[in-house]
Structure 1
Amino acid sequence: MTSTTGAIEVAATVDVETDTGAALQITGVTKAFGDFLAVDHLTLTVPSGSFFALLGPSGCGKTTTLRMVAGLEQPTTGTIAIGGRDVTGTRAHQRPVNTVFQSYALFPHLTVGENVAFGLRRTGKSEIARRVAEGLDLVELGHLAGRKPVQLSGGQQQRVALARALVNRPSVLLLDEPLGALDLKLRRQMQLELKRIQTEVGLTFIHVTHDQEEAMTMADTVAVMNHGRIEQMGTPAELYELPRTAFVANFLGQSNLVPGTVSERVTSTGLLAVDVVGRRLLVPEARSVRSSGDVLVGVRPEKLRMLVGDQEPSSGENVLGPGTVTDVSFTGVSTQYQVEVAGLGTFGVFAQNLLGGSTVAPGSRVRLAWSMDFTFALDGADAPDEGTVDLDDEP
Structure 2
Amino acid sequence: MSAFDDAGADLELRQITKTFPGFTAIEQLDLTIPAGSFFALLGPSGCGKTTTLRLVAGLEEPTTGRVLIGGRDVTATKPHERPVNTVFQSYALFPHMTVQGNVEFGLRRRGVKDAGARALEALKLVQLDHLAARRPSQLSGGQQQRVALARAIVNRPALLLLDEPLGALDLKLRREMQLELKAIQAEVGLTFLHVTHDQEEAMTMADTVAVMNRGRIEQMGSPQELYELPRTLFVANFLGQSNLLTGDVVATSGANTVVEVGGVRLSIPTARMQRTSGAVTVGVRPEKLLLLTEEPKAKRGVNLLGPARVTDVSFTGVSTQYQVEFPENSALPGMSVFAQNLVFGAVVNPGAEVWLSWSVDHGFGLADAAEPGSSFAAAEADDTSVAVAAGES
Please confirm whether the aligned pair reaches a TM-score higher than 0.5, indicating the same fold: yes
Aligned partners of 2:319, 2:86: CA distance in 1, in Å?
Answer: 38
Secondary structure of the structure 1 residue equivalent to 2:134: coil
Secondary structure of the structure 1 residue equivalent to 2:311: strand
> Residue in 2 aligned with 1:154?
141
> Residue in 1 aligned with 2:82?
95
Offset of 1:386 from its aligned partner? 10
Q: Which runs of 5+ in 1 are unaligned?
A: 391-395
Aligned partners of 2:194, 2:339: CA distance in 1, in Å?
Answer: 32
Q: Is residue 2:64 matched to residue 1:77?
A: yes
Out of 295, 314, 321, the position equivalent to 1:329 is 314
Aligned partners of 1:63, 1:356: CA distance in 2, in Å?
Answer: 44
Tell me if structure 2 keeps the 8 A contact 1:31–1:37.
yes
Letter in 2 for 1:13: D
> Residue in 2 aligned with 1:50?
37
> Residue in 2 aligned with 1:272?
257
> Residue in 1 aligned with 2:384?
none
Tell me if structure 2 keeps the 8 A contact 1:155–1:186.
yes
Letter in 2 for 1:130: A
Percent sequence identity over aligned pairs: 65
User: Aligned-pair RMSD on alpha carbons?
Assistant: 1.7
Offset of 1:313 from its aligned partner? 5.3
> Residue in 1 aligned with 2:188?
201
> Residue in 2 aligned with 1:14?
7
> Residue in 1 aligned with 2:169?
182
Q: Which moved more, 1:354-363 or 1:135-144?
A: 354-363
Letter in 1 for 2:362: F
Tell me if structure 2 keeps the 8 A contact 1:248–1:387.
no
Q: Which runs of 5+ in 2 are unaligned?
A: 381-393
Q: Which moved more, 1:276-285 or 1:209-218?
A: 276-285
Aligned partners of 2:155, 2:146: CA distance in 1, in Å?
Answer: 15
Aligned partners of 1:65, 1:338: CA distance in 2, in Å?
Answer: 38
> Residue in 1 aligned with 2:350?
362
Aligned partners of 1:225, 1:125: CA distance in 2, in Å?
Answer: 39
Letter in 2 for 1:297: V
Q: Is residue 2:151 matched to residue 1:170?
A: no
Tell me if structure 1 keeps the 8 A contact 2:243–2:376.
no
Counting helix residues as a fraction of each chain, which structure ranks higher?
Answer: 1
Change (3 A) 1:386 1:100: farther
Kindly provide the CA deviation profile for residues 178-228 of structure 1, in whole angstroms up to 9, marking residues without a partner as x: 000000000000000000000000000000000000000000000000000
Letter in 1 for 2:181: L
Offset of 1:122 from its aligned partner? 4.5
Letter in 1 for 2:188: V
Question: TM-score under structure 1 normalisation?
Answer: 0.92
Letter in 1 for 2:231: R
Kindly provide the CA deviation profile for residues 3-46 of structure 1, in whole angstroms up to 9, marking residues without a partner as x: xx63xx52x4226xx4xxxx100010011111210111110000
Change (3 A) 1:329 1:246: same
Secondary structure of the structure 2 residue equivalent to 1:273: strand
Letter in 2 for 1:376: F
Secondary structure of the structure 2 residue equivalent to 1:255: strand
Offset of 1:121 from its aligned partner? 1.3
Letter in 2 for 1:288: M
Offset of 1:381 from its aligned partner? 3.2
Offset of 1:312 from its aligned partner? 3.7
Out of 208, 217, 229, the position equivalent to 1:221 is 208
Aligned partners of 1:286, 1:177: CA distance in 2, in Å?
Answer: 36
Kindly provide the CA deviation profile for residues 98-153 of structure 1, in whole angstroms up to 9, marking residues without a partner as x: 00000000000000000000100155675111110110000000000000000000
Q: Is residue 2:225 matched to residue 1:232?
A: no
Offset of 1:275 from its aligned partner? 0.8
Tell me if structure 2 keeps the 8 A contact 1:272–1:283.
yes
Secondary structure of the structure 2 residue equivalent to 1:181: coil
Letter in 1 for 2:51: T
Tell me if structure 1 keeps the 8 A contact 2:202–2:209.
yes
Offset of 1:321 from its aligned partner? 2.1
Aligned partners of 2:305, 2:122: CA distance in 1, in Å?
Answer: 56
Tell me if structure 2 keeps the 8 A contact 1:272–1:282.
yes
> Residue in 2 aligned with 1:297?
282
Tell me if structure 2 keeps the 8 A contact 1:318–1:372.
yes
Change (3 A) 1:210 1:313: farther
Tell me if structure 2 keeps the 8 A contact 1:259–1:380.
no
